[in-house]
Amino acid sequence: MQLNSFFYLIVCLVFATPQELRAQEVWKCSGQIVDAATKEPLVGANIYTEDLQFGTTTDEYGRYLIQVSSKYNKLIASYIGYKVDTCHNKYGSCYFELDVQELQEIVVSAEKKKVQKEIGQFSPSMKQIKRLPALLGDVDIVKAMVLLPGISGGVEGSSGMLVRGGDLSHNLILLDGTPVYNSNHLFGFMSSFNPEAVKHVELYKGGFPVQYGGRLASVLNITMKDGNMQKQSANLSIGLINSSVVTEGPILKNRISYLIAGRMLNLSPILSLGKKSSDEQYGYWLYDFNSKVKLKITPKQSLYLSYFQGDDSFHSKFQETDNRVKWGNKVASIRYNNQLANNVFVDMGAYYNKYAFGSKHEDLFQFSTYLFSTKSTISDLTGRVKVRWVLTPKFRSVIGGELSEKKFTPVEFETEELDSLGNVSASESVLEKIAVRSTTGFYENEWSPFSSLKIRAGIRASFYESKSLDFNDLEWRTSISYKKNNQTIKLAYDEMNQPFHLLTAVGSDSPNEIWIPGTTNVPSSHAQQVSLGYSKDIPNRKLRFSAEVYYKWMNNLVRYKPGSAYFFTQKGDWERNIIGKGIGEAKGFELFVNHYQGRLTGWLGYTLAWSNRKYTQTNHGNWFAANYDRRHDLELVLSYKISKKWNASGTFVWQSGRPLTLPSAFYLAPREPGGVVDRFKLVFDNINGSRTKNYHRLDLSFTRKYRTRRDREASWAFGAYNVYARNNPFSYVVAINDGEGVVSKPPRLILLQKSLFNIIPSINYRLKF
């Protein structure tokens, strides 16, 4: 099929109207599925007819819209871990309150009838995530995602996520619908999301719904708990190095609820061990804070207020030099939703978020003090609306739009020199702010001409306006899936644009992230992805199998110019220090086998992938492997219920080495033109031309649940990360060993491998009251 014909087909699907279907007699139903005890909406719950001819899932508010033929007289609601419920009310809404189900058999029957997740989409339950072994016992949502096929992590221990050959910045991470620009704590070793406050996690790596945009590789949608509408409760979690508390409850029973969650960690006592001299001091602390208020105005209308803040601060002092690095996010949002009719649902809101990264450097001299500070920020004020409606049992649509203003400060740089009296004797500053306004509209149709066939087509258009540049982006997305006898086959085509970019220096172990807007030299990055997937459920064996292949093409990618780095961007000429118009190619095969019920549950994931980049301005214009390209990636995740009280979990990860740039030679060079050749220079002639050692690791954990004397739920979790203490590579340093002045040891190139962790035991205590 020619490309033009293909787009013509998408256009027809996007703007199709289901005239022939409107005449049918239908049962229009809408409502909500909630936990009976807490009235907490259940995200991703299933609602379907008994013969599975019609079905859908609940959205992030636990709401659903469905139309079925009038021949049916009941709808069934199910959610993993809950009792199944039915509704016979053919003339109004069906509001389901599901009870927690302890009996395994009924849970199984609920799962058997589950409306299947789309291929390219994962939504592991928080229960599953919390059972996984975790670094220092601290459950991490992003690290759990990395255990799924098609997704790999950054360096050892990091909370970075690389999806289908994309970069770290190519993931749209949403907290209650609001983008979070930096999702990391502790130099990337912890994600910013408190698992105790999270209700639902959903990840898309293909087949993206049109309401999501602005990133190239994936969407991670994290939904916080709304808060218990019935009674006050709290969760306390105490780990080896950090602790968290979550409290929730009704402000007005069944009308207004709240949730407050906080975590903090102070590593300063550990970092100060053995440092008795006041000349050498180190400190590190971090915290995050979540809060949410839900107001149930009517059964069909709700209002949500959310706020999240997280900060990290690192401080080091060595003799007369004092360094401080601080970074953090602030996210505030207000959302209102209204179910206008049994087939129309409106969701609108506004949010403000800000990410700031800054550093301060202070040198104390005998007669003066030199101060150097940098800051880089991105902030975003956005208003948006989304309308979903179901026109017929076989046709549903989504339409919406966003108005947004983003403010970038890639460079805020200040130096001051103070004399011995504290007077400023010299100062210098550079501040650059760039505002980008955008208008986005999206529209998507989903059509099921037969119960086994589903076609989805959508369009997303964005217009950007800034002082220096106006541009627009258009994205087409479509998918077709066919399901028969527990087997599904799906073909998807997605276009994604990213109008702003993240610069990170690969050679650094420290945070150095700078968000920059699209400019004339570095316009929006663009990606096109085609994916084909097959999945099969084998209910009698409680197995689900899926396999996917994908091919992705990216252009207008951005990176630092060779030799440039964060410090150069501080001189007010950041645009001169980057190169754009890079192209990228990613392709791969993903396999996923999930045993989802029984005493032994878990999955096996395997990914075979390639991801390459090409820039005319570097590597002699040749292709090179992307920074985290890994050929093979295998994950085995198992959880075994030993008894009513005890549970064991294990994770094994094996990955091929990641790319590494090694020098091909070194030589003597002058410090300046015409100067004496007295310094060594390394020759790098092939970016990422070598590979690190393979990575593998085994983690184990054991959890004991019990009830306290006061009949409260409590658990102890004991675990170990990297059980067999493998020294996996974290980073490499190429150095020239000059023999430390020993003439008998002539200079030569050496490679030093830095490994972060030995075996790390962990212990965690959780109490619910």
Partner 1 sequence: MKKLFLLVVLWSIMGCLKEVELQYDGDEQAKIVLHGTISPQKGVLLNISKSIPPQEKLDFDQVFLNNALAVLFQDGIPVDTLVNVNNSGDFELSQNISIVEGKEYRLVVSAFGFDAASVQLRIPDSLDGLSMSYQPDGSDKGIIQVSFEPTQNELFYAEVIGYDSLNLVRPIFLQESSNTIDCPASWFAHKYFFHEDCLHKNNPKIVALFNKETIQWEPRAIVLLHKIKLLISKIDPEYETIIDFSDNEEVGFSEPVVIESNVEGGYGYVLPINPSEAIVTF
The tokens describing 114, both together, are 């589950």
663 lies in the site for partner 1, by CB under 8 A: yes
Of the chain, the end-to-end C-alpha distance in Å amounts to 61
Q: Give the residue with the Cβ less far from partner 1, 576 or 645.
A: 576
Provide the b/e sequence for 7-29 (b: ≥16 CB within 10 Å): eeebeebbeeebeebeeeebbbb
Residues numbered 423 to 462 that lie near partner 1 (CB under 8 A) are: 426-430
- Nearest approach in angstroms of CB 745 to partner 1 is 8
Evaluated on CA atoms 154, 160, 166, 167, the torsion sign reads: negative
Q: Which helix (H) or strand (E) holds 702?
A: strand 695-707
489: three-class secondary structure by DSSP: strand
Burial class (CB in 10 A: 0-12, 13-18, 19+), 93: middle
In SS3 terms, 534-594 reads as EEEEEHHHCEEEEEEEEEEEEEEEEEECCCCCHHHHCCCCHHHHEEEEEEEEEEEEEEEEE
Residues numbered 258 to 277 that lie near partner 1 (CB under 8 A) are: 269-270, 273
Member of 3, 278, 674, 740 binding partner 1 (CB under 8 A): 674
151 lies in the site for partner 1, by CB under 8 A: no
Member of 49, 171, 337, 512 binding partner 1 (CB under 8 A): 512
Member of 159, 237, 462, 618 binding partner 1 (CB under 8 A): 618
The residue type found at 559 is R
502 lies in the site for partner 1, by CB under 8 A: no
754 lies in the site for partner 1, by CB under 8 A: yes
580/573 Cα distance (integer angstroms): 15
Q: Which helix (H) or strand (E) holds 8?
A: helix 3-14
422 lies in the site for partner 1, by CB under 8 A: no
* 8 A C-beta contact, residue 605 and residue 147: yes
- Nearest approach in angstroms of CB 738 to partner 1 is 9
Member of 6, 474, 669, 716 binding partner 1 (CB under 8 A): 669
Q: Give the residue with the Cβ less far from partner 1, 23 or 621.
A: 621
The residue range among 304-312, 443-451, 478-486, 565-573 that interacts with partner 1, by the rule CB under 8 A, is 565-573
- Nearest approach in angstroms of CB 522 to partner 1 is 17
- Nearest approach in angstroms of CB 753 to partner 1 is 5
- Nearest approach in angstroms of CB 367 to partner 1 is 8
614 lies in the site for partner 1, by CB under 8 A: no
307/516 Cα distance (integer angstroms): 25
The residue type found at 515 is W
Q: Give the residue with the Cβ less far from partner 1, 549 or 756.
A: 756
- Nearest approach in angstroms of CB 712 to partner 1 is 27
The residue range among 49-57, 209-217, 346-354, 673-681 that interacts with partner 1, by the rule CB under 8 A, is 673-681
Residues with Cβ within 8 Å of residue 245, at least 6 apart in sequence: 234, 235, 236, 237, 261, 262
Residues numbered 680 to 699 that lie near partner 1 (CB under 8 A) are: 681-687, 689-690, 693
274: three-class secondary structure by DSSP: coil
111: three-class secondary structure by DSSP: helix
Taking CA atoms, 244 is separated from 240, 247, 290, in Å, by: 11, 10, 11
Member of 381, 416, 755, 769 binding partner 1 (CB under 8 A): 755
666/468 Cα distance (integer angstroms): 43
Member of 255, 562, 600, 707 binding partner 1 (CB under 8 A): 562
The residue range among 125-133, 170-178, 257-265, 747-755 that interacts with partner 1, by the rule CB under 8 A, is 747-755
30/136 Cα distance (integer angstroms): 44
751 lies in the site for partner 1, by CB under 8 A: yes
- What track of x and - describes contact with partner 1 for positions 101 through 140 (by CB under 8 A)? -----------------------------------x----
Give 318-321 contacts, CB < 8 A, sequence gap 24+: 318/279, 318/280, 319/279, 319/280, 320/363, 320/364, 320/365, 321/361, 321/362, 321/363, 321/364
Member of 73, 297, 573, 712 binding partner 1 (CB under 8 A): 573
Q: Give the residue with the Cβ less far from partner 1, 631 or 641.
A: 631
The residue range among 38-46, 125-133, 566-574, 597-605 that interacts with partner 1, by the rule CB under 8 A, is 566-574
422/368 Cα distance (integer angstroms): 8
740 lies in the site for partner 1, by CB under 8 A: no
Q: Give the residue with the Cβ less far from partner 1, 417 or 585.
A: 417
- What track of x and - describes contact with partner 1 for positions 713 through 732 (by CB under 8 A)? --------------x--x--
The tokens describing 428, both together, are 């210098």
Residues numbered 399 to 418 that lie near partner 1 (CB under 8 A) are: 417
Residues numbered 313 to 372 that lie near partner 1 (CB under 8 A) are: 365, 367-368, 370
